[in-house]
Structure 1
Amino acid sequence: MKRTGWVWPGVTGLVLGLLALGPGLAPGFLLSFDMVFTPGPRFSAMTFGLTGTVPRHVPSDAFGVALAHVLPGDVAQKAVLLGIFVLASMAAASLVPTRRVVPRVAAGAVYAWNPFVAERLLLGHWAFLLGYAALPLVAGAAARAAEPGGGRRLTRALVPAAIGGFAGVAVSALVAGAVVLCRPERKRGLAKAVAAVVVLSLPWLVTGWLRPSGMPGAPEGVGAFAARADTPFGALGSLFTLGGAWNAATVPPGYGTPLLAVVWLVVVVASVVAFARTRTDGTAGLAIAAGAGYVLAALGVVAAPLLRGLIEAWPGFAVLRDGQQYVAPLAVVVAVGFGVLADRAADRRLDALGVLAVLLPLVLLPGLAWGAAGRLRPVHYPDAWARAREIVRADPVPGDVLILPWATYREYPWNGGRTSLDALPRYLDRRGILSDAVVIGRTVVPAEDPRARALDPVVRAGGPLTARLAAHGIRYVAFDAETSGNAYYARLGGAQRVLADADLVLYRLPDPARPREDSAPAALAGTAWAVTLMSVVWSFAASGITLATRSLRHPRGKAP
């Protein structure tokens, strides 16, 4: 695609992003499940995965902190979210084998506005969606990986997925590997693809592999994170139509109603068939990736015992628990096939159908519009949080912060009661410790943080807390929810209440022991970061850089 060919898909993505976020673009932060941005964040050991926790947030937290040093935190968040829609639209448009604008725009619209994007956005998986947005670029670059300069192109295309961490890289690696293996000179292309994936993954690979307590698998979470039905077609049908997220609370309003679900199913089937009939470079590999991804997505539904056994054998297979994310390659297939259908309509002089195709995703999924019908609304952190940060920041005595209530997620009143990850560990400058056990229905996925596991019996037992917490290196105890008459207050005898507010209560403990925490060696982690950053700079250092991908292009410039 020529550089000018990016304009209309980019504009379309921007319009879709503005429409999707709606009131969420007002000043303030969007807190939705796992999406947490904070004002004025600082780099810390936690940012780089050096606290002993599982490095799922590496390197996305570092990216967010770096961006917040350039822009205000809430502006940085909105820029990232809008960028996802713009990049997704442009990337999908680049794979449609035509020179016409409308089919490309239609493909971009479907790829940026579908149930997968809606549910992942409400889950707060912005970092994963960055990798999703660039997935078509990965497919295009992988098809040309064996060519001169192919390694640079593929590395550039993988950068958004690398920001997203292991989940985004896993899906992108699936696509890159499948496409490369279906191309001539597959050995050379595969070597470049493996090198690019490994080098860009080093920040979380090193901290994860060298984590002293190992990598947890938690096979009991297979059922909890398995795909679920959000359409009349069951879990497998919901996955095929790009839905099926494990969390029912993330289904957009109105999605799954019989009429709209049937029409959307017809669109998906027709698009897949159109893609299958398209013969261009890389389509075979992309089709294989989509099929393999669908099988992986369905494992938790049709073969849960097998998946649990795999995780028990090697915890690394836990990346397959949240299976729905592996339908992302299928979304690429659907988008490209939809663009091909619009191009065929143009061949038959049915230009009006092409224009309607651009609008069809919005008609079939209206619940994503206007901040997902109001679910994405900006909020400001309470003033008490800022005062707590200043108190903690001014204290020269070392020690960590224990955060109560003893749970991972919150329903802050100032966030409209919407569920979000506890934001205090990222808000404060010190190491924050909370229970990272996840409760889903009747299933409890055990805590992974060694500090949380060590403190769990202390917190849950009766009796005084102050001396026992201080012995574990705790300097502060913060209550960022349920602050009125909390039963834990009576157990903190001898601690000084330094802040009392309806939104946050903060206690300071005397004479804490110096915190000790095992983690991956900082020198090795720093080396990993240096290698990754140098590879990113190298990939963008070539002259004439463009996002264009000519790999899935038919020789005549249009679909047969």
Structure 2
Amino acid sequence: MRNRVWHVVWPYAVGGLLGVLALGPALAPGFTLAYDMVFVPEPVFLPSTFGLTGTLPRAVPSDAAVALLGTVLPGALVQKLILLSLFLIACGGAAALLDGRPAVVRLAAAVFYAWNPFVAERLLLGQWALLLGYAGLPWAVRAALDPRGLRWVWAFVPAAAGGFMAMIITALTVLPVAALGPGGRRALARVSLACVVFALPWLVPSLVRQAQVPSDAAGVAAFAARADTPLGGLGSLFTLSGVWNAEVVPPGLDPVLPSVLRLLVAVAAVAAFAVARPGGMHLPARAGLAVASAAGLVIASAGLTGPGRAVLVWLIDLWPGFAVVRDAQQYVAPLALLTALGVGGLAGLLAGSSRRARVPAGVLGVAAPLLLLPGLVWGAWGRLAAVDYPRDFERVREIVAADREQGDVLLLPWESYRAYAWNGGRSSLDPLPRYLTRHVVWNDAVRVASQAGDLVIGTEDPRARALDSLIRSAAPLAGPLRAAGFRFVVLDGDPREWNRFQSRLAGAAKVYSGPHAALYALSWKDAQVSRAP
């Protein structure tokens, strides 16, 4: 009985240790803000939480899941539990997919699946919702191989909570697995139904409002995979790196020797997966995972060449929904699972039938991913860290929440990302749209630096698009904003950028002023300014 419990528990213990080792300072008190990852103390349900503001529902239903957890737990604890769960679910799933194989095989596969360049780069990019789907991928594959009863439905919950990209990479992986697995057409029908049902929270608002969202082909060049190792673009993708943002490449990924070693491990792992046979070190879902990995690698590499980018631009112009292939490196997720299973197969081959060889093979299986990717250790050498929100944010929230007048909030300066001094200068989405208790309109356009200059992917929010020319002009703001249904204007970020807006807010009352945020009311009976202590 004790051995059976340990057989189930140890993968999660390993995942927990890897999570602590990877997150490090991010587990300290406070919040970790990194690019797309923004958690707040008291998340609330807003129209944007459900994709009802005219923008693509990228945070549906992940924001709703966070807000729901935030009703019973502190926001900072919610973030830390979610980040740790990524490693627990990934390790547990990879080990469960290899249930019945020797422990050394399961251990090597679990560690590699939770610790690789794909996980590191997407974590530094703040895409925890995508990683939630990635972590649940082995569970979904396991369910697709044997979709009997209703328990298998739970295997899709991580991807469903993660939202649209989490579900897309899951569908890309499990549909070929189900079609080519033992269940055949019946399994394919059940898995297809599950994918559609779990996608409905973001699929419905996407289809209803897609005509309102501009298709900006500039995103193809901005988000195309790139060479972030000496192996070139395709070699980087094959070794599970190649993210578009150079600033989220983990330390130590670019030296030649580790890159070549990672390539050798990847080639050997894929070969081990391909030659595995029943009676030997048989690995599951071989045909389906091979098809999914090949398809994902083709999608990921399409943007590496001019003709490939032209095809993607044509597809997006044809139908805006094809914009999901812009950030193409995400599609190597099935290859990551295939490689992890192959690494498990390699560990099994090294151990053979000798008990003496099992311990060295297990140690090598655990150590190799960590030694080949030391840049993920301790929050990527301190790139992930926990900080406290400034008191100014809480005061602005209190004033806005206590106000009984109708109207929305406009957020300035007119950029979506900030590099707060109190966050160590690290870039992150502005947290105020999630921090405040009413709808915030902001410029959701994304500015991406490139060798050819800044590329700007256009604004999606129809209200922000309507205001863009006004805000970029030198015209007064208070009157037009009041007429457009706004109650407040809030300024945050670098105070040196506030000057060009403060002079244009004549007629609005400054009701709060602090070093990190200022709040203007477009009509206010008592115009006395509340200042930060």
- What TM-score, normalized by structure 2, do the two folds share? 0.93
* C-alpha displacement of 1:301: 1.3
Amino acid at match of 1:292: A
Match of 2:493 in 1: 481
Tell me the SS of whatever aligns to 1:370.
Answer: helix
Tell me the SS of whatever aligns to 2:345.
Answer: helix
After superposition, what is the alpha-carbon deviation per residue over 1:271-301, rounded to whole angstroms, capped at 9, x for unaligned?
Answer: 1100111235521101111111111111111
Distance change >3 Å, CA 9–CA 184, structure 1 → 2? closer
Match of 1:285 in 2: 288
Task: Return the match for 2:413 from 381, 405, 420.
Answer: 405
**Is structure 2 residue 523 aligned with structure 1 residue 510?**
yes
Tell me the SS of whatever aligns to 2:54.
Answer: coil
Tell me the distance in 2 between the aligned counterparts of 1:379 and 1:30.
6
**Is structure 2 residue 239 aligned with structure 1 residue 250?**
no
1:46-85 to structure 2, matched below 5 A, reads 46-85=48-87
Match of 1:542 in 2: none
Tell me the distance in 2 between the aligned counterparts of 1:428 and 1:71.
18
Amino acid at match of 2:440: G
Q: Is the 8 A contact 2:51 2:60 kept in 1?
A: yes
Tell me the distance in 1 between the aligned counterparts of 2:370 and 2:294.
26
Match of 2:529 in 1: none
Amino acid at match of 2:33: L
**Is structure 2 residue 333 aligned with structure 1 residue 333?**
no
Tell me the distance in 2 between the aligned counterparts of 1:184 and 1:17.
34
Q: Is the 8 A contact 1:96 1:340 kept in 2?
A: no
Match of 2:366 in 1: 358
Q: Is the 8 A contact 1:433 1:452 kept in 2?
A: yes
Match of 2:472 in 1: 460
Q: Does 5-14 or 57-66 show the bigger shift?
A: 5-14
Tell me the distance in 1 between the aligned counterparts of 2:210 and 2:507.
34
Distance change >3 Å, CA 179–CA 262, structure 1 → 2? same
Tell me the SS of whatever aligns to 1:506.
Answer: strand
Q: Is the 8 A contact 2:133 2:162 kept in 1?
A: yes
Tell me the distance in 2 between the aligned counterparts of 1:121 and 1:153.
29
Amino acid at match of 1:500: S
**Is structure 2 residue 502 aligned with structure 1 residue 492?**
no
1:162-181 to structure 2, matched below 5 A, reads 162-181=160-179
Tell me the distance in 1 between the aligned counterparts of 2:69 and 2:417.
25
* C-alpha displacement of 1:97: 6.3
Tell me the distance in 2 between the aligned counterparts of 1:359 and 1:84.
20
* C-alpha displacement of 1:5: 2.4
* C-alpha displacement of 1:24: 1.1
Task: Return the match for 1:195 from 186, 193, 208.
Answer: 193
* C-alpha displacement of 1:213: 4.4
Distance change >3 Å, CA 2–CA 174, structure 1 → 2? farther
Task: Return the match for 1:318 from 318, 323, 332.
Answer: 323
Tell me the SS of whatever aligns to 2:293.
Answer: helix
Tell me the distance in 2 between the aligned counterparts of 1:223 and 1:37.
29
* C-alpha displacement of 1:482: 2.4
Q: Is the 8 A contact 2:54 2:460 kept in 1?
A: no
Equivalenced residue count is 508
Q: What is the percent sequence identity of the aligned residues?
A: 52
**Is structure 2 residue 422 aligned with structure 1 residue 414?**
yes
After superposition, what is the alpha-carbon deviation per residue over 1:132-152, rounded to whole angstroms, capped at 9, x for unaligned?
Answer: 00111111111123xx31xx2
Q: Is the 8 A contact 1:93 1:336 kept in 2?
A: no
Amino acid at match of 1:495: A
After superposition, what is the alpha-carbon deviation per residue over 1:226-246, rounded to whole angstroms, capped at 9, x for unaligned?
Answer: 001111111111000000000
Match of 2:398 in 1: 390
* C-alpha displacement of 1:63: 0.6
Q: Is the 8 A contact 1:245 1:324 kept in 2?
A: yes
Tell me the SS of whatever aligns to 1:510.
Answer: coil
Q: Is the 8 A contact 2:210 2:320 kept in 1?
A: no
1:197-216 to structure 2, matched below 5 A, reads 197-211=195-209, 213-216=211-214
Amino acid at match of 1:307: L
1:6-21 to structure 2, matched below 5 A, reads 6-21=8-23
After superposition, what is the alpha-carbon deviation per residue over 1:341-377, rounded to whole angstroms, capped at 9, x for unaligned?
Answer: 1111121532313212211111111110111100101
Tell me the distance in 2 between the aligned counterparts of 1:2 and 1:431.
51
**Is structure 2 residue 506 aligned with structure 1 residue 501?**
no
Match of 1:263 in 2: 261
Tell me the distance in 2 between the aligned counterparts of 1:179 and 1:468.
55
* C-alpha displacement of 1:52: 2.0
Q: Is the 8 A contact 2:45 2:64 kept in 1?
A: yes
1:520-539 to structure 2, matched below 5 A, reads none
Q: Is the 8 A contact 2:59 2:163 kept in 1?
A: yes
Q: Is the 8 A contact 1:252 1:368 kept in 2?
A: yes
Tell me the distance in 2 between the aligned counterparts of 1:466 and 1:219.
34
Match of 2:110 in 1: 108
Tell me the SS of whatever aligns to 1:46.
Answer: helix
Tell me the SS of whatever aligns to 2:48.
Answer: coil
* C-alpha displacement of 1:187: 2.0
Q: Is the 8 A contact 1:483 1:505 kept in 2?
A: no
Amino acid at match of 1:90: G
Match of 2:128 in 1: 126
**Is structure 2 residue 312 aligned with structure 1 residue 307?**
yes
| Contiguous gaps of at least 5 residues in structure 2 | 278-282, 525-533
After superposition, what is the alpha-carbon deviation per residue over 1:472-496, rounded to whole angstroms, capped at 9, x for unaligned?
Answer: 1111111111224621111111110
* C-alpha displacement of 1:154: 3.9
Distance change >3 Å, CA 212–CA 368, structure 1 → 2? closer
**Is structure 2 residue 441 aligned with structure 1 residue 433?**
yes
Amino acid at match of 1:454: A
Q: Is the 8 A contact 1:32 1:420 kept in 2?
A: yes
**Is structure 2 residue 480 aligned with structure 1 residue 472?**
no
Distance change >3 Å, CA 34–CA 467, structure 1 → 2? same
Tell me the distance in 1 between the aligned counterparts of 2:57 and 2:487.
24
Amino acid at match of 1:426: R
Amino acid at match of 2:245: N
Match of 1:367 in 2: 375
Tell me the SS of whatever aligns to 2:178.
Answer: helix
Match of 1:533 in 2: none
